[in-house]
Structure 1
Amino acid sequence: MTAFVVAGVALLALLIGATAGWLVGRRANLSPSIEPAETLAPVIPTVLQPTPPSPAATRMTRAMLLDLIIEGSETGIAVVDDVRDVVFYNEQAVHLGMVRDHLLDDSVWEHARFTLESGDNGRFTFVPPQGTGAFVSTGRAPGRKIQSVSCLSELIADGDEHYAVVYGHDDSENIRVEETRRDFVANVSHELKTPVAAIGLLAEALLESSDDPYSVEHFGERVRIESVRMGNMVSELIALSRLQGAERLPDLEDVEVDVLIDEVLDRAQINAEAAGIKLTTDEDSGLHVDGDHTLLLTALNNLVANAIAYSPSGTAVSMSRRVVNVDGRPMVAIAVTDRGIGIAPQHQLRVFERFFRIDKARSRATGGTGLGLAIVKHVASNHGGAIELWSKPGTGSTFTLTIPLAAAPRSTDAAAREPDKTAIVVHEERELSR
């Protein structure tokens, strides 16, 4: 058969296989529910059947249109014959590591060859080798490494010519979600097991010390501390589960930022004094935000409590407020700054994960649950805002919660003195005296 005939067959195979792959990928996202291309037989002729030409069709052939669709697809497509010649592939196939140097990856070829020899479609998982472009993720999840590619191998034939079409889809996000779920279950089990086991041991000690008032008081207080810690963890888990949808809150209220900060500092004052920490804040601003007062209070309480817990005695924890412009939107930025131990760069991206602790022993000693910053992240997201971290080991950390500025103007004197919304306002700090 001449080269022209082979090319014609390849083009026909590409047209049918790529169209089926595109439809399957779009409909089922290459999940385990994918059906073989044969089930699309009634659909494919309809797709390929000539239709009355439109003005656009006169300027662009169907082949050109199909080529644009395939090249822009997030599904990698590679067509290979029985001697391993790759007759077609798109850029995404290279990106996912399925094709390298115009050759099908060895592990992908093994599955394609099975399809060519047996005629059976096959589903398999492909792990891109290290050092390939597959370790730079797609636009769907920028900056993430591709951990797994879900693949489907199908046979197409025209007479004596047989080709295997391999479709590949980045499945890294599903893998990451599953790993997060497993970690979460394991962490919850472990974290709840610790106080339960402690309470059991302390109860035994109480029974053995019933005739010693001092021991009874000591162990009883320890039981109370562990039960409070377990109760706090359950409460925070419930709060976190309600926030994880990342949906904006349906009913927002007017929240005075100055009142919110004063309330946070009032609550933190006793713990700060016990730890030898000085609380400071800047001047009132008259700023307002639209939000849920209780959730914002919880988020800021968590930030200040963390700052106190990880600061050495004799240092200060400060709160400040300002108006910043984020993508053309005026936002209120509330910053909590400590002069503590700081956070190493390799930990800064993980501090907002559930149950993540840099120093587990210190966290348990201070009664931390490992959920506080995860709650802050979700509160910010649900308010259409964000939480940002700046930290330098040995210098300290600043957590900044940004929330959209209230849309309605205020008639109070404080609001009349509201600073320019595109400027960053710096105030002198004042020490909190209560």
Structure 2
Amino acid sequence: MTPLETLALVAATAIIGVLVGYTIARMRDRRRENGQAAPSVSELLLRLVHSSHNGIVVVGSLGEILVHNPRADELGLVRNDQLDGRAWHAAEQALETGKPVEIDLSPLGGRGRQPEAVLGEAASLGEGFAVIEAVDHSEAVRLEATRRDFVANVSHELKTPVGAMALLTEALLDAADDPDEVRRFGEKLHHESTRLGALVTELIALSRLQGAEKLPEPTVVEVDAVVNEALGRVTHAAEAGESTVTTDSDSGLRVEGDHTLLVTALTNLLTNAIVYSPPGSPVSVSRRLAGDLVEISVTDRGIGIAEEDQQRVFERFYRVDKARSRVTGGTGLGLAIVKHVAANHGGEVRLWSRPGTGSTFTICIPAHQEDRYTQQRGSSGGNVRPAAAGESRSDN
């Protein structure tokens, strides 16, 4: 550090000190004018400790707790007014060596909804006193675990079509003189390449929805236009599955958001309902205004989704019936995309399902402000309950 930089640092420190002193003095003057006693420095420090998001404990040389905040109890640093044994051992080392000691204070056993990963540090304050600070790293640990699982799942999902394409390419080269075999292997190669392209496209879409890129500026979106475009996209799938897709009349409802993303989400729900339902099984789409929310529902007549699977179907790559999903060529990302599209529009996706009856997925999004609390006309309602038994589906 140059002499000039040193002088600047000293000057800045002095200015900050003057400002802090002036602020405290002004606060004391105001409190005196109001007949209130001005807080002492020790009182201010205690307030700081008690308001900290980290667990803080000050102990004496015999392990007695002198000061601790509520967060220390929440993180398990203090239990029943007793310091955690690991924390006291670290404090003893810090008092003996005068150096900070890092410590793992994570719960040793199942403790319900308590934090899962707590790291801390003990430091000597001199004169036989030590301070232990505990920080909850549970969310970071969970995010890292989610990241590892996601990378592992993506690697596995990409490996399948890539490996198949490599084998098919070899077979295609070996059968170069047989037109029928070339066509057969070529069709399979096209299927796998299409599946790989769909997976990459949906991975990119999901990445953007999760914050990698900002969503476009929201515009006023016509719900009827979203429904009509999504129906147009699944026409071929409906014909191939001999499914009949019905819908209610135009609603005139509007939302604020991104037209393309909403069409993608609704298309994913319709594709799931068609592909994972028995041939000829009916699928219905309905829309309605429920309070402040516009609800767009897709209903099938499958066998339903078990209660233990209903929350997990929105996870990336989760499939209720893995074998069936492989046959249909699903990526396992469809419902995850639906969930994030709804969330990015300030809404949610709801699932109603009953084994032996069927399922209804409902995208709920705040209505355009001018349309809220108005009476919707010509709508048959949102959460249609399926009536016929058939086959369930999990994820596209």
TM-score range, shorter chain: 0.7 to 0.9
Query: 1:156 corresponds to which residue?
Result: 125
After superposition, the Cα gap between the structure-2 partners of 1:427 and 1:92, relative to the gap in structure 1 and judged at 3 Å, is closer
Q: Tell me the TM-score normalized by structure 1.
A: 0.74
After superposition, the Cα gap between the structure-2 partners of 1:197 and 1:117, relative to the gap in structure 1 and judged at 3 Å, is same
Is residue 2:246 matched to residue 1:280?
yes
Within a 5 Å distance, the mapping from 1:42-57 to structure 2 comes to 51-52=24-25, 53-56=28-31
Deviation by residue 1:106-143 (Cα, 9 ceiling, x = unmatched): 333332222122211123332113344xx425xxxxxx
Within a 5 Å distance, the mapping from 1:31-430 to structure 2 comes to 51-52=24-25, 53-56=28-31, 58-59=36-37, 61-62=39-40, 63-132=42-111, 135-136=112-113, 146-158=115-127, 162-245=128-211, 249-325=215-291, 330-408=292-370, 418-419=376-377, 425=381
Query: 2:8 corresponds to which residue?
Result: none
Query: 1:9 corresponds to which residue?
Result: none
Tell me, yes or no, if the aligned pair for 1:289 and 1:405 is still in contact at 8 Å. yes
After superposition, the Cα gap between the structure-2 partners of 1:124 and 1:260, relative to the gap in structure 1 and judged at 3 Å, is same
SS at match of 2:107: coil
Aligned alpha-carbon RMSD (Å): 3.3
CA distance in 2, matches of 1:44, 1:427: 63
CA distance in 2, matches of 1:389, 1:44: 58
Query: 2:394 corresponds to which residue?
Result: none
After superposition, the Cα gap between the structure-2 partners of 1:74 and 1:376, relative to the gap in structure 1 and judged at 3 Å, is same
Deviation by residue 1:198-253 (Cα, 9 ceiling, x = unmatched): 01111222223333333222211111000001011111122222222298744333
CA distance in 2, matches of 1:48, 1:391: 64
CA distance in 2, matches of 1:256, 1:350: 31
Compute the displacement of 1:367 (Å). 1.4
After superposition, the Cα gap between the structure-2 partners of 1:91 and 1:286, relative to the gap in structure 1 and judged at 3 Å, is same
Deviation by residue 1:332-385 (Cα, 9 ceiling, x = unmatched): 111112222433333333332322223322222111112212222222222222
What letter is aligned with 2:350?
Answer: E
Tell me, yes or no, if the aligned pair for 2:286 and 2:380 is still in contact at 8 Å. no
CA distance in 2, matches of 1:151, 1:54: 39
SS at match of 2:313: coil
% identity of equivalent residues: 49
What letter is aligned with 2:90?
Answer: H
Compute the displacement of 1:44 (Å). 11
After superposition, the Cα gap between the structure-2 partners of 1:391 and 1:247, relative to the gap in structure 1 and judged at 3 Å, is farther
5+ long unaligned stretches in structure 1:
1-39, 138-145, 411-415, 430-434
Tell me, yes or no, if the aligned pair for 2:287 and 2:294 is still in contact at 8 Å. yes
Tell me, yes or no, if the aligned pair for 1:256 and 1:289 is still in contact at 8 Å. yes
- How many residue pairs match? The answer is 365
Deviates more, 1:168-177 or 1:304-313: 304-313
Deviation by residue 1:175-207 (Cα, 9 ceiling, x = unmatched): 111112222222222111111100111122222
CA distance in 2, matches of 1:311, 1:199: 29
CA distance in 1, matches of 2:383, 2:362: 16
Deviation by residue 1:19-69 (Cα, 9 ceiling, x = unmatched): xxxxxxxxxxxxxxxxxxxxx9xx999989994214447346345554444
After superposition, the Cα gap between the structure-2 partners of 1:427 and 1:337, relative to the gap in structure 1 and judged at 3 Å, is closer
5+ long unaligned stretches in structure 2:
1-12, 386-396
Deviates more, 1:401-410 or 1:206-215: 401-410
Tell me, yes or no, if the aligned pair for 2:297 and 2:382 is still in contact at 8 Å. no
Tell me, yes or no, if the aligned pair for 2:230 and 2:266 is still in contact at 8 Å. yes
Q: Tell me the TM-score normalized by structure 2.
A: 0.81
CA distance in 2, matches of 1:67, 1:292: 49
